[in-house]
Protein backbone atom coordinates (compact mmCIF):
# COMPACT_ATOMS: atom_id res chain seq x y z
CA UNK A 1 0.00 0.00 0.00
CA UNK A 2 1.47 3.36 -1.00
CA UNK A 3 1.46 6.35 1.33
CA UNK A 4 -1.34 8.21 -0.46
CA UNK A 5 -3.62 5.16 -0.42
CA UNK A 6 -2.98 4.62 3.29
CA UNK A 7 -3.87 8.23 4.21
CA UNK A 8 -7.07 8.10 2.12
CA UNK A 9 -8.26 4.90 3.80
CA UNK A 10 -7.24 6.03 7.27
CA UNK A 11 -9.35 9.18 6.94
CA UNK A 12 -12.51 7.06 6.90
CA UNK A 13 -11.33 4.54 9.48
CA UNK A 14 -10.33 4.40 13.10
CA UNK A 15 -7.10 6.35 12.66
CA UNK A 16 -8.99 9.17 10.97
CA UNK A 17 -11.64 9.21 13.70
CA UNK A 18 -9.01 9.47 16.41
CA UNK A 19 -7.28 12.27 14.57
CA UNK A 20 -10.57 14.12 14.15
CA UNK A 21 -11.03 14.17 17.91
CA UNK A 22 -7.66 15.87 18.29
CA UNK A 23 -8.13 18.35 15.45
CA UNK A 24 -11.84 19.13 15.92
CA UNK A 25 -11.51 22.44 17.77
CA UNK A 26 -9.02 24.20 15.44
CA UNK A 27 -10.67 22.71 12.37
CA UNK A 28 -14.04 24.12 13.37
CA UNK A 29 -12.51 27.48 14.25
CA UNK A 30 -10.91 27.65 10.81
CA UNK A 31 -14.20 27.04 9.05
CA UNK A 32 -16.06 29.89 10.80
CA UNK A 33 -16.72 32.83 8.49
CA UNK A 34 -15.75 36.39 9.24
CA UNK A 35 -18.72 38.32 10.58
CA UNK A 36 -18.74 42.07 11.24
CA UNK A 37 -21.77 43.61 12.90
CA UNK A 38 -22.62 47.09 14.11
CA UNK A 39 -24.18 47.62 17.52
CA UNK A 40 -25.81 50.89 18.55
CA UNK A 41 -26.00 51.59 22.26
CA UNK A 42 -28.71 53.51 24.07
CA UNK A 43 -26.04 54.87 26.42
CA UNK A 44 -23.31 57.50 26.28
CA UNK A 45 -19.69 56.55 26.86
CA UNK A 46 -19.75 58.56 30.11
CA UNK A 47 -21.91 55.81 31.65
CA UNK A 48 -18.93 53.53 31.38
CA UNK A 49 -20.39 50.54 33.24
CA UNK A 50 -23.64 50.33 31.27
CA UNK A 51 -22.14 51.42 27.95
CA UNK A 52 -19.17 49.17 28.61
CA UNK A 53 -21.40 46.09 28.61
CA UNK A 54 -21.49 46.15 24.81
CA UNK A 55 -17.71 46.51 24.65
CA UNK A 56 -17.39 43.48 26.93
CA UNK A 57 -19.58 41.45 24.58
CA UNK A 58 -17.53 42.55 21.59
CA UNK A 59 -14.29 41.63 23.36
CA UNK A 60 -15.51 38.16 24.36
CA UNK A 61 -16.68 37.33 20.83
CA UNK A 62 -13.48 38.52 19.19
CA UNK A 63 -11.25 36.63 21.61
CA UNK A 64 -13.22 33.40 21.24
CA UNK A 65 -13.07 33.46 17.43
CA UNK A 66 -9.55 34.79 16.82
CA UNK A 67 -11.14 37.97 15.52
CA UNK A 68 -13.54 36.32 13.10
CA UNK A 69 -16.70 37.57 14.85
CA UNK A 70 -16.47 41.33 15.32
CA UNK A 71 -19.08 43.69 16.75
CA UNK A 72 -18.39 47.40 16.37
CA UNK A 73 -19.94 49.38 19.22
CA UNK A 74 -21.34 52.88 18.72
CA UNK A 75 -22.50 55.17 21.53
CA UNK A 76 -25.96 56.71 21.62
CA UNK A 77 -26.35 59.31 18.90
CA UNK A 78 -23.41 58.18 16.78
CA UNK A 79 -25.62 56.15 14.45
CA UNK A 80 -29.13 56.67 15.80
CA UNK A 81 -30.60 58.37 18.89
CA UNK A 82 -30.35 56.26 22.04
CA UNK A 83 -34.09 55.76 22.39
CA UNK A 84 -34.38 54.50 18.81
CA UNK A 85 -31.83 51.69 19.15
CA UNK A 86 -34.36 48.86 19.00
CA UNK A 87 -36.08 50.49 16.02
CA UNK A 88 -32.78 50.42 14.16
CA UNK A 89 -32.48 46.69 14.84
CA UNK A 90 -36.03 46.04 13.66
CA UNK A 91 -35.32 47.92 10.43
CA UNK A 92 -31.96 46.14 9.98
CA UNK A 93 -30.17 49.48 9.97
CA UNK A 94 -27.82 47.76 12.42
CA UNK A 95 -27.53 44.13 13.40
CA UNK A 96 -27.58 44.73 17.16
CA UNK A 97 -28.27 47.17 19.95
CA UNK A 98 -27.70 47.41 23.70
CA UNK A 99 -30.73 48.94 25.31
CA UNK A 100 -33.46 48.65 27.96
CA UNK A 101 -36.86 47.33 26.97
CA UNK A 102 -38.83 49.88 28.97
CA UNK A 103 -37.61 52.63 26.64
CA UNK A 104 -40.18 51.27 24.17
CA UNK A 105 -43.09 50.81 26.52
CA UNK A 106 -44.98 53.53 24.62
CA UNK A 107 -45.12 51.19 21.62
CA UNK A 108 -46.29 48.33 23.79
CA UNK A 109 -45.89 48.04 27.60
CA UNK A 110 -44.92 44.39 27.08
CA UNK A 111 -41.47 45.64 26.05
CA UNK A 112 -40.85 46.72 29.65
CA UNK A 113 -41.62 43.45 31.42
CA UNK A 114 -38.31 41.67 30.84
CA UNK A 115 -36.43 44.86 31.73
CA UNK A 116 -38.00 46.36 34.85
CA UNK A 117 -41.47 47.33 35.99
CA UNK A 118 -42.64 48.57 39.42
CA UNK A 119 -42.47 46.04 42.26
CA UNK A 120 -41.28 43.19 40.08
CA UNK A 121 -38.22 41.03 40.79
CA UNK A 122 -34.75 41.80 42.13
CA UNK A 123 -31.69 41.39 39.91
CA UNK A 124 -31.20 37.81 41.10
CA UNK A 125 -34.89 37.12 40.65
CA UNK A 126 -34.91 38.53 37.12
CA UNK A 127 -31.92 36.39 36.18
CA UNK A 128 -33.52 33.28 37.67
CA UNK A 129 -36.78 33.90 35.80
CA UNK A 130 -35.02 34.76 32.52
CA UNK A 131 -32.56 31.87 32.40
CA UNK A 132 -34.50 29.13 34.17
CA UNK A 133 -38.13 30.25 34.28
CA UNK A 134 -38.68 30.59 30.55
CA UNK A 135 -38.38 34.36 30.58
CA UNK A 136 -36.00 34.63 27.63
CA UNK A 137 -38.25 32.47 25.45
CA UNK A 138 -41.40 34.35 26.45
CA UNK A 139 -39.78 37.69 25.69
CA UNK A 140 -38.49 36.51 22.32
CA UNK A 141 -41.89 35.14 21.43
CA UNK A 142 -43.19 38.70 21.85
CA UNK A 143 -40.20 40.35 20.14
CA UNK A 144 -40.46 38.17 17.03
CA UNK A 145 -43.12 40.47 15.60
CA UNK A 146 -40.53 43.27 15.79
CA UNK A 147 -37.88 41.17 14.02
CA UNK A 148 -35.81 40.99 17.22
CA UNK A 149 -34.08 38.26 19.24
CA UNK A 150 -32.88 39.41 22.66
CA UNK A 151 -30.76 38.12 25.54
CA UNK A 152 -30.06 39.71 28.92
CA UNK A 153 -27.02 41.95 28.70
CA UNK A 154 -26.51 43.53 32.10
CA UNK A 155 -28.17 44.60 35.32
CA UNK A 156 -27.57 47.52 37.68
CA UNK A 157 -29.15 45.92 40.72
CA UNK A 158 -31.95 47.76 42.51
CA UNK A 159 -31.65 51.44 41.72
CA UNK A 160 -32.00 54.45 43.98
CA UNK A 161 -35.26 56.38 44.19
CA UNK A 162 -33.83 59.67 43.03
CA UNK A 163 -32.74 63.13 44.11
CA UNK A 164 -35.23 65.52 45.74
CA UNK A 165 -34.95 69.22 46.49
CA UNK A 166 -37.09 68.78 49.60
CA UNK A 167 -38.09 65.94 51.88
CA UNK A 168 -41.18 63.88 51.12
CA UNK A 169 -42.71 61.97 54.00
CA UNK A 170 -46.34 61.34 53.09
CA UNK A 171 -48.43 60.73 50.01
CA UNK A 172 -49.71 64.29 50.34
CA UNK A 173 -46.15 65.53 49.71
CA UNK A 174 -46.30 63.99 46.24
CA UNK A 175 -49.14 66.24 45.09
CA UNK A 176 -47.93 68.48 42.28
CA UNK A 177 -44.33 67.23 42.57
CA UNK A 178 -42.59 67.71 39.23
CA UNK A 179 -40.30 64.71 38.84
CA UNK A 180 -38.12 63.58 36.01
CA UNK A 181 -39.37 60.01 35.77
CA UNK A 182 -40.51 58.27 32.65
CA UNK A 183 -42.38 55.37 31.20
CA UNK A 184 -44.13 52.83 33.34
CA UNK A 185 -43.14 54.41 36.67
CA UNK A 186 -44.37 57.80 35.51
CA UNK A 187 -47.80 56.33 34.82
CA UNK A 188 -47.92 54.88 38.34
CA UNK A 189 -46.81 57.98 40.28
CA UNK A 190 -49.14 60.11 38.19
CA UNK A 191 -52.00 58.36 39.98
CA UNK A 192 -50.62 59.81 43.23
CA UNK A 193 -50.40 63.39 42.02
CA UNK A 194 -46.85 63.48 40.70
CA UNK A 195 -46.32 65.36 37.43
CA UNK A 196 -43.91 63.19 35.37
CA UNK A 197 -41.33 65.02 33.28
CA UNK A 198 -39.40 63.68 30.29
CA UNK A 199 -35.94 65.27 30.40
CA UNK A 200 -32.70 64.13 28.78
CA UNK A 201 -29.88 63.19 31.14
CA UNK A 202 -27.76 66.23 30.30
CA UNK A 203 -30.61 68.61 31.11
CA UNK A 204 -31.47 67.24 34.56
CA UNK A 205 -28.92 69.20 36.58
CA UNK A 206 -29.93 72.69 35.33
CA UNK A 207 -33.62 71.79 35.68
CA UNK A 208 -33.08 70.85 39.34
CA UNK A 209 -30.88 73.88 39.95
CA UNK A 210 -33.47 76.30 38.56
CA UNK A 211 -36.40 74.55 40.24
CA UNK A 212 -37.99 73.66 36.92
CA UNK A 213 -38.35 70.19 38.42
CA UNK A 214 -38.46 69.14 42.08
CA UNK A 215 -36.88 65.72 41.78
CA UNK A 216 -35.24 63.30 39.37
CA UNK A 217 -34.43 59.62 39.27
CA UNK A 218 -31.35 58.40 37.46
CA UNK A 219 -29.52 55.16 38.29
CA UNK A 220 -27.51 54.67 41.47
CA UNK A 221 -24.49 56.04 43.36
CA UNK A 222 -21.74 55.30 40.84
CA UNK A 223 -23.54 56.83 37.85
CA UNK A 224 -25.37 59.56 39.79
CA UNK A 225 -22.20 60.99 41.31
CA UNK A 226 -20.90 61.91 37.86
CA UNK A 227 -23.82 64.28 37.23
CA UNK A 228 -23.43 66.24 40.47
CA UNK A 229 -27.06 66.10 41.59
CA UNK A 230 -26.02 66.26 45.25
CA UNK A 231 -25.23 69.96 44.80
CA UNK A 232 -28.77 70.94 43.84
CA UNK A 233 -31.05 68.25 45.32
CA UNK A 234 -29.49 66.83 48.50
CA UNK A 235 -32.19 64.34 49.56
CA UNK A 236 -31.31 60.95 48.09
CA UNK A 237 -34.22 58.55 48.40
CA UNK A 238 -34.37 54.78 48.17
CA UNK A 239 -35.31 52.25 46.95
CA UNK A 240 -36.15 52.75 43.30
CA UNK A 241 -39.17 50.48 43.51
CA UNK A 242 -39.80 50.84 39.78
CA UNK A 243 -36.41 49.26 39.02
CA UNK A 244 -35.82 46.46 41.49
CA UNK A 245 -33.71 44.46 39.04
CA UNK A 246 -33.46 46.39 35.77
CA UNK A 247 -32.20 44.16 32.98
CA UNK A 248 -30.40 45.64 30.00
CA UNK A 249 -30.70 43.61 26.81
CA UNK A 250 -28.64 42.82 23.77
CA UNK A 251 -31.15 42.89 20.93
CA UNK A 252 -30.28 41.34 17.59
CA UNK A 253 -31.94 41.57 14.21
CA UNK A 254 -33.81 38.28 13.94
CA UNK A 255 -32.78 37.57 10.35
CA UNK A 256 -29.14 38.39 11.09
CA UNK A 257 -29.14 36.15 14.17
CA UNK A 258 -30.76 33.26 12.34
CA UNK A 259 -28.22 33.68 9.56
CA UNK A 260 -25.36 32.85 11.92
CA UNK A 261 -23.99 29.34 12.14
CA UNK A 262 -25.23 27.28 15.12
CA UNK A 263 -21.78 27.63 16.68
CA UNK A 264 -21.87 31.43 16.42
CA UNK A 265 -25.42 31.54 17.77
CA UNK A 266 -24.34 29.50 20.77
CA UNK A 267 -21.29 31.66 21.32
CA UNK A 268 -23.37 34.85 21.09
CA UNK A 269 -25.77 33.56 23.76
CA UNK A 270 -22.89 32.52 26.01
CA UNK A 271 -21.00 35.80 25.60
CA UNK A 272 -24.20 37.75 26.28
CA UNK A 273 -24.74 35.86 29.53
CA UNK A 274 -21.14 36.51 30.58
CA UNK A 275 -21.48 40.23 29.87
CA UNK A 276 -24.80 40.21 31.72
CA UNK A 277 -23.15 38.89 34.89
CA UNK A 278 -20.14 41.17 34.54
CA UNK A 279 -22.17 44.39 34.65
CA UNK A 280 -23.92 43.56 37.93
CA UNK A 281 -20.62 42.51 39.46
CA UNK A 282 -19.08 45.85 38.48
CA UNK A 283 -21.94 47.85 40.01
CA UNK A 284 -21.80 45.82 43.20
CA UNK A 285 -18.10 46.65 43.45
CA UNK A 286 -18.31 50.35 42.53
CA UNK A 287 -21.47 51.50 44.32
CA UNK A 288 -20.19 51.11 47.93
CA UNK A 289 -17.37 53.63 47.44
CA UNK A 290 -19.65 55.95 45.48
CA UNK A 291 -22.37 56.09 48.15
CA UNK A 292 -19.78 56.95 50.82
CA UNK A 293 -18.39 59.66 48.58
CA UNK A 294 -21.84 61.15 48.00
CA UNK A 295 -22.61 61.23 51.70
CA UNK A 296 -19.30 62.98 52.23
CA UNK A 297 -20.42 65.60 49.70
CA UNK A 298 -23.65 66.25 51.60
CA UNK A 299 -26.13 63.71 50.29
CA UNK A 300 -28.83 62.99 52.87
CA UNK A 301 -30.07 59.43 52.54
CA UNK A 302 -33.78 58.97 53.06
CA UNK A 303 -35.97 55.85 52.72
CA UNK A 304 -39.38 56.20 51.14
CA UNK A 305 -41.88 55.93 53.96
CA UNK A 306 -44.01 52.78 54.28
CA UNK A 307 -47.04 54.94 53.51
CA UNK A 308 -45.57 56.08 50.20
CA UNK A 309 -44.36 52.62 49.23
CA UNK A 310 -47.73 51.04 49.97
CA UNK A 311 -49.58 53.71 47.99
CA UNK A 312 -47.24 53.21 45.03
CA UNK A 313 -47.66 49.43 45.25
CA UNK A 314 -51.45 49.79 45.17
CA UNK A 315 -51.31 52.23 42.25
CA UNK A 316 -48.97 49.92 40.33
CA UNK A 317 -51.37 47.00 40.71
CA UNK A 318 -54.17 49.17 39.35
CA UNK A 319 -52.07 49.90 36.26
CA UNK A 320 -51.25 46.21 35.84
CA UNK A 321 -54.92 45.27 36.03
CA UNK A 322 -55.75 47.78 33.31
CA UNK A 323 -53.02 46.44 31.03
CA UNK A 324 -53.77 42.77 31.63
CA UNK A 325 -57.38 43.40 30.65
CA UNK A 326 -56.46 44.81 27.25
CA UNK A 327 -53.10 43.33 26.25
CA UNK A 328 -52.83 39.51 25.92
CA UNK A 329 -49.05 39.53 25.35
CA UNK A 330 -48.53 41.65 28.46
CA UNK A 331 -50.82 39.41 30.47
CA UNK A 332 -48.98 36.23 29.43
CA UNK A 333 -45.53 37.46 30.47
CA UNK A 334 -46.67 39.32 33.59
CA UNK A 335 -48.50 36.24 34.88
CA UNK A 336 -45.27 34.26 34.49
CA UNK A 337 -43.28 36.88 36.41
CA UNK A 338 -45.91 37.15 39.16
CA UNK A 339 -45.97 33.39 39.68
CA UNK A 340 -42.21 33.28 40.17
CA UNK A 341 -42.21 36.49 42.22
CA UNK A 342 -44.30 34.75 44.88
CA UNK A 343 -41.92 31.79 45.06
CA UNK A 344 -38.81 33.94 44.87
CA UNK A 345 -39.70 36.15 47.83
CA UNK A 346 -40.83 33.17 49.87
CA UNK A 347 -37.33 31.73 49.61
CA UNK A 348 -35.44 35.04 49.75
CA UNK A 349 -36.80 35.92 53.19
CA UNK A 350 -35.47 32.75 54.81
CA UNK A 351 -31.70 32.21 54.59
CA UNK A 352 -30.54 35.14 52.43
CA UNK A 353 -32.53 37.84 54.22
CA UNK A 354 -31.57 36.67 57.69
CA UNK A 355 -27.91 36.26 56.86
CA UNK A 356 -27.70 39.68 55.21
CA UNK A 357 -29.62 41.31 58.06
CA UNK A 358 -27.27 39.83 60.68
CA UNK A 359 -24.19 40.93 58.75
CA UNK A 360 -25.60 44.44 58.29
CA UNK A 361 -26.14 44.70 62.04
CA UNK A 362 -22.49 43.73 62.56
CA UNK A 363 -21.37 46.27 59.99
CA UNK A 364 -23.40 49.06 61.63
CA UNK A 365 -21.86 48.12 64.97
CA UNK A 366 -18.38 48.53 63.50
CA UNK A 367 -17.51 44.86 63.87
CA UNK A 368 -16.68 44.13 60.25
Is 159 among the annotated ligand-binding positions?
yes
217 is in an annotated binding site: yes
Peptide bond connecting 239 to the previous residue in cis, omega within 30 degrees of 0: yes
Q: C-alpha distances in angstroms, 31 versus 26, 65, 231, 266, 279?
A: 9, 11, 57, 16, 32
Q: Would you say 163 is a known binding-site residue?
A: no
Binding residues for substrate: 159, 180, 217, 243
Annotated binding site for Na(+): 218
Q: Which residues fall in the annotated binding site?
A: 159, 180, 217-218, 243
Amino acid sequence: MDRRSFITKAAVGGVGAAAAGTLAAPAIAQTQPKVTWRLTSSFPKSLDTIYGGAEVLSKYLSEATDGNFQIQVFAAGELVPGLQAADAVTAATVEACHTVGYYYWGKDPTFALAAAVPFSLSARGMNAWAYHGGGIDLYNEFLAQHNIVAFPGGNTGVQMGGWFRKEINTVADLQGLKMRIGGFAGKVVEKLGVVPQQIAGGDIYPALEKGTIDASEWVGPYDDEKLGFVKVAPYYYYPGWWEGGPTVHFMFNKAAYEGLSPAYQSLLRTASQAADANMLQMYDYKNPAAIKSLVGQGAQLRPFSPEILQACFTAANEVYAEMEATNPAFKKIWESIKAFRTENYTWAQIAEYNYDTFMMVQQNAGKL
